Structure 1
């Protein structure tokens, strides 16, 4: 049993009643008219511009296919095209990242510049004499600058942190011989040195400690 609206008095009445209890209008005719009303089915076709939008920008326009009336076939085709577009885009991004990764693995990034060339060449003895004469003038010439120094190995040592350094003969006395700290990657080079060997290094000046010239970031020059 269902309630319907009487077409005469606009009041509710049972569809099983013979007549409206309020106004007496026949109910059977009204119920038959309600049951005979057709159910409207909206069918939408994929228009030209919607099709173009789905083809060019599937991530945006494919969702319009979810509106009522579009067929299941059009929805399947639209979302399949969206999945294919995303798959192709992801593959393209992976291919773009591979060359960069290969460059990094080879250890040759573009933004790494070559070590600066030494601005001057000097012997260990002349370096020690320069600091003995005038520390300020020697700092202006060598501190923070790359230079090539040549001399005879006096000793091979490590500092408090285990970093290798060598002293070259030529200091004012045996306790003030110039010190040259090597890069960590050249520890094997330092291990192969012996006192009395003549070597050349390219270093960066670090000033002095009590008139003893100090240098760092040294690499073999020969």
Structure 2
């Protein structure tokens, strides 16, 4: 057994190999074609020979590992799963009449700056009573500012 150079990838492989372990090129065909003339690379190869084998004793061959199934090839978009809308219980506490409650921060800001924050009462779910108080407070402040002496 000697190390020879693969004719395809130029890496060292065993002379007894049927195919190159690096690139997979078949070696049996190449060796039979090259048997007539010794390649210069093979002439410089050093071989230590092989040990004599006892033919009466069967050789122990390790069983080949079970082939692993190849991983499924999936397109990149398949990994990004769309989140299914799940039905979540409504966490908002509704008022007795079923309207949306006015949060504490909104009450404070409507009291301090009604020109800007009263418009949040126009969102879906607020009752007419809440809107009346918010816009009434805005109207009262506008009226008070217009009646003040200059």
TM-score bin (small chain): 0.3 to 0.5
TM-score (ref. length: structure 1): 0.23
Structure with greater strand share of residues: 1
Q: From the CA coordinates, give the structure whose radius of gyration is larger.
A: 1
